[in-house]
Chain A
C-alpha cells in the first residue's frame, strides 16, 4: 500500500488514518533508536547479547498495533522487543532482562506478554495452548505469536499450526521473513515459494504482506485478529522484510551477506517511506524529525538508566522462582551457597 518512494498505491484503502500512522512512526523510530543505543552499549560491555529489529520495524509495530493490550496476549520470539513494549511491557523491564536483572525483569502482573523465547519455535505450541485455553475459559482474547523464516523449519512450527487448526484456536501466527537465520539464507530454509502457503496445509488462511509497509501489515493483522476473535480460527501472516542489521551482537554478516543485496534492501527502509509519505502531506519535516529523535532518545535513556539502577541479582537468586515449594535438597544447596550452612 505504502510504496518505498513514500506514495500510496493507486486504489489502496486502509484503516490507518494519518494520525494513527504518525503514532506508528513514533514507535518505529523508538525501536530503531533503541537498537542503535543498546548496540553501542553492548560494544562497551554494558549490555547483553542483543538481536536488533532494525529494518523490521513496520512488521514489529504494525502487528502490535492490531492487538488489544487489555485483552489480547502477545507471545514473542526475541526480535520483537518494541512490540512487547507497545503491548504494555515497560521498556525498563525488558531492558533489565538484558542486563541480567532478576526481580526487576519480571513482567508485571496484568501485562499480557510471555517471556522472550530463545529456543526457536518452542513458543508456538505454547501459544496455541494459550489461545485454546483462553477460548475454553470463555475469554474474548486473541493471541499473536511471533516466529521467523528460520523458525518455520522447526518441528514445533508444524505441530503448533496443525493443532491450532484442529482446535480452531483464536491465534495469529506472525512470521517475519527477514531473509536470514543468522547466516542461513531464506533460500536454503525452504523450497516453498511463500511461507504463507503453508497455512493451506493446516486448513486456515495464510497471507503474504510487504513487511516493510506498516499500513499493509496493520491491515493484514487486523483482518486476522478479527477472524480469530469472531471464531474463525487461526491465520498465518508472512511479513516479507529484511534484516537490516546482524542476527545479534555476536554476528558478522560481512562473512556471508552480499553487500549489494543489503544496499538494495536499504532502499526499502520501512521508516523512511512513512516519513516521505507524511512529508508529502505536510506532516513531516527535518525539524520534527530532530525533535522526535531527541524526545525518543530521552525516553529510551530513562528506561536504560532505570534498568541499570535496578537491584542487582543476589547469589541466592540462583534458586529463585524454580519451585513454589523447593525440594529439601534444593533448600540445602541454597543454604550452602548463601552461608555455607548446607553441608
Chain B
C-alpha cells in the first residue's frame, strides 16, 4: 500500500475529489502555482486549471464568504485559510454566517463548504501562525470541527468533509505535516465524523487528545509503559460531532483520564471533555480528570514555544499524579 505523509494525503484527497466531482474547487492564498505555503495543493492547478484552483486576493472574510455564495450557486468549494489564527479576520463569515445559514434560511439553503487551515506550534513560525483556537468554533453551532492526527485519517476525514452537506472546519496539524509516512490507500475512502479512535490500548489511564497532541500522547504512553503504567490513547478526530459514547466507554475501562491539548487551559475543549465525564461517568472514575494544556497567555515568541506547549514532562507528571489516586 502506498505510504504518504499528511501533506501528501491531503493533496491526494483533494485530487481524488476534484477528479470525481467537477463541482469541487479550491480557493485561497497561494493555493495555485505555489501549491500552498505547505504545498498541500501542489500540482492541482496544473491538473485542474485556473477555474478550479483559484489564487484569491489576501482577504479571509471574502475567501470564506465567497465560498458560501459559491456553494449556493452549486459549487463545492474547499477554501484554504493559510493559518487558523488568520480566521480571526474572517470569523464572522465562518461561525456566524456559514454556521447559521441553513437555520436562517429555514432550511432553504445549505452550505457544502470545507474550510481547511493549518495550525499549532512546534515549527517556530511567526506570531499568529500557531494559535490553537479550535474551541472558539465549538461555540459556533452549525460548523463541524475536524482535527486529524495522522495521514490515513487526514485523507478519509477530508473526503468526508468535502462530501458533507454542511460546513466543516478542517484543522491541519502543521507540526506533523511531514513527520513520517504511513499507509494511505489510493482512491477515495471516508472516515466518518463523530467516531473517536482508540489508537493505543491501555488499562490504567486514558490520554484523550486530537490533532498533533495525539502524537505527544503516544510518545508519553510509550514512556509510561517503561514505568509500568499502561496508558490508552484516544484520538477524538472530531470535536463536533463529539463521540461521547466512545469517550465514556474508554474512560470507564481505565477509571482515569488526562486530556492533552495545545490550546490554552481555560475554556479549552479539555474543559468540555472533563465536564462530560463528570456528568456521564463520575462514579466510575478513580481519580479527578486532569488537563495538560498550553498556558492562559498568548502564544509566545517561537523561541519560547517549547515552554508554552504541553510537553512530555508535563503529560508524564499529570499521569503520575492521577495514578496516585
Residues of A with Cβ closer than 8 Å to B? 102-103, 105-109, 114-115, 119, 122, 124-134, 136-137, 139, 155-156, 158-160, 162-163, 166-167, 320-324, 327-330
Contact = CB atoms under 8 A, between A and B. Distances in A.
Given A137-B75, A163-B62, A321 B93 contact: no
B314 interface: no
B192 to A, nearest CB: 10
Interface of B: 25, 51, 54, 56-57, 59, 61-62, 64-75, 77, 92-93, 96-97, 101-110, 141-142, 165-166, 194, 240-242, 244-245
B57 A327 contact: no
Given A125-B93, A159-B59, A321 B67 contact: no
A130 B72 contact: yes
Contacts of B67: 129
B241 A327 contact: yes
The 5 closest A-B pairs by CB, nearest first: A129-B69, A133-B73, A125-B65, A129-B66, A327-B241
18 contacts: A107-B106, A114-B105, A115-B108, A122-B93, A126-B97, A132-B66, A132-B70, A136-B51, A136-B70, A156-B65, A159-B57, A159-B61, A163-B56, A320-B103, A322-B142, A323-B102, A329-B242, A330-B141
A122 B93 CA distance: 7
Given A106-B108, A122-B65, A156-B62, 15 more contacts: A119-B92, A124-B65, A125-B65, A126-B97, A129-B65, A129-B67, A130-B69, A133-B75, A162-B57, A166-B56, A320-B103, A321-B102, A322-B142, A328-B244, A328-B245
Contacts of B69: 125-133
A342 B267 CA distance: 25
B66 A122 contact: no
B73 A109 contact: no
Contacts of B165: 324
A105 B142 CA distance: 20
Contacts of B108: 106-109, 115
A129 B68 contact: yes
Contacts of A106: 105-108
Contacts of A167: 54
A174 B180 CA distance: 53
A342 to B, nearest CB: 12
Contacts of A124: 65
Contacts of B241: 327-329
Q: Which of B57, B65, B93, B240 has the most CB of A within 10 A?
A: B65
Contacts of B141: 322, 330
Given A103-B106, A114-B72, A323 B66 contact: no
Most buried by B among A127, A158, A163, A166: A163
Contacts of B102: 321-324
B65 A323 contact: no
A122 B59 contact: no
Contacts of B142: 322-323
B279 to A, nearest CB: 9
Contacts of A163: 56-57, 59, 62, 66
A330 B103 CA distance: 14
Given A320-B103, A327-B242, A329-B241, A125 B62 contact: yes
A163 B101 CA distance: 21
Contacts of B97: 119, 122, 126
Q: Name, among B66, B73, B194, the residue most crowded by chain A CB atoms within 10 Å (CB to CB).
A: B66
